[in-house]
């Protein structure tokens, strides 16, 4: 069973930037899809960005042009670069992978989450 550990969250002012990292316990990024979800208080968890094993990407309309998902060459870490942050981006951000069944959109492992707060 793979483990995912997110880091990089914190408090940032509107218009600022943060870079989230997700470290996997195995070299999985070349054989599975990776994604970032977020959940704000009282709201459903929503997909923010995803990157396939073949490096194609997909973004929610609300973050397109501001966020960038990427992964390292070693195949252990996926990143989410967040620019021009808005208060509405405030949420717990979760890293996920579809390693178990390897079907697009069918994520089956999750990290513990990292808090992102955008406030002046």
Inter-residue contact 94 to 36 (CB < 8 Å) = yes
pLDDT of residue 72: 94
pLDDT per residue rounded down to tens, the chain (120 residues): 899 999 999 999 999 999 999 999 999 999 999 999 999 999 999 999 999 999 999 999 999 999 999 999 898 999 999 999 999 999 999 999 999 999 999 999 999 999 999 999
Query: What pairing do the DSSP bridges indicate for beta strands 46-51 and 18-24?
Result: unpaired
Buried b (16+ CB within 10 A) or exposed e, 55-67: eeebbeeebeeeb
Phi-psi region of 55 (alpha: psi -120 to 50; beta: other; left: phi over 0): left
Q: Which residues pair with 37 in a beta bridge?
A: 47, 94
């Amino acid at each position: 069973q793979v483990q995912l550990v997110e880091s990089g969250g914190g408090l940032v002012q509107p218009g600022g930037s943060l870079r989230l990292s997700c470290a996997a316990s195995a070299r999985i990024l070349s054989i599975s899809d990776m994604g970032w979800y977020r959940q704000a208080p009282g709201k459903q968890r929503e997909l923010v960005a995803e990157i396939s094993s073949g490096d194609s990407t997909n973004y929610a309309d609300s973050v397109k042009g501001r966020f960038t998902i990427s992964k390292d060459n070693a195949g252990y870490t996926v990143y989410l670069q967040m620019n021009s942050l808005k208060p509405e981006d405030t949420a717990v951000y979760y890293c996920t992978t579809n390693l178990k069944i390897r079907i697009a959109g069918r994520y089956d492992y999750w990290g513990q989450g990292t808090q992102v707060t955008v406030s002046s």
